[in-house]
Amino acid sequence: MKTKFILALIGGLLYLASCQVSVSNENPKSKKGMVKVTIMYPNGDGKNFDMDYYSNKHMPMVADLLGDSLKLLEIDKGMGGRTPDDPMPYLAIGYLYFDQLSAYQNSFGPHAQQIVGDIPNYTNTQPIIQISEVLE
């Protein structure tokens, strides 16, 4: 019994040693010509935002639903305004990057109701959406 275990262990180690894993130190980056969908959540009296839910549940769900069309996802957490005494204008800002506008439209459209329906789970503020072309 002990011999079979050792042989199985050696076989497993040899198999793992034969596997090649490619690891890249490069982070995905936006490129000129990409489409950036910016989702801004305005700050204000009585506004709240659950950053933990947004970053750990909502945005991963969005990424899964959008699939390979989504090339890059970024999240900013508001910290302050223009001066140290100014409140942050936005509680959070999310960014979704696509190669083309049609990639966004075709991937978001079928899931719009599910994505938008999740908003009350993390905020009571109405997001502002801007779609832009990345120039640099």
Q: What is the pLDDT of residues 2-12, one digit of tens each?
A: 444 333 333 33
In Å, what is the CA distance from 105 to each residue of 10, 93, 112, 126?
A: 51, 20, 10, 21
Residue 107 has pLDDT above 90, yes or no: yes
Crossing angle of helices 101-108/59-66, nearest 10°?
110
Q: Residue 54 and residue 41: Cα distance in Å, rounded?
A: 11
Fill in the DSSP letter of residue 108.
Answer: H
Give the pLDDT confidence of 74-104 residue by residue, as tens digits.
999 999 999 989 999 999 999 999 999 999 9
Q: Which two tokens stand for residue 111?
A: 């899931």
User: Minimal CA–CA distance to 101: which of 128, 134, 65?
Assistant: 134
In this structure, whether the domain defined by 25-133 belongs to CATH 3.30.70.100 is answered with: yes
81 with 89: CB under 8 angstroms? Answer: yes
Give the pLDDT confidence of 21-48 residue by residue, as tens digits.
322 334 678 999 999 999 999 999 999 9
Domain definitions of the chain by residue range: 25-133
Q: Which two tokens stand for residue 120?
A: 């009350």
pLDDT at 31: 95
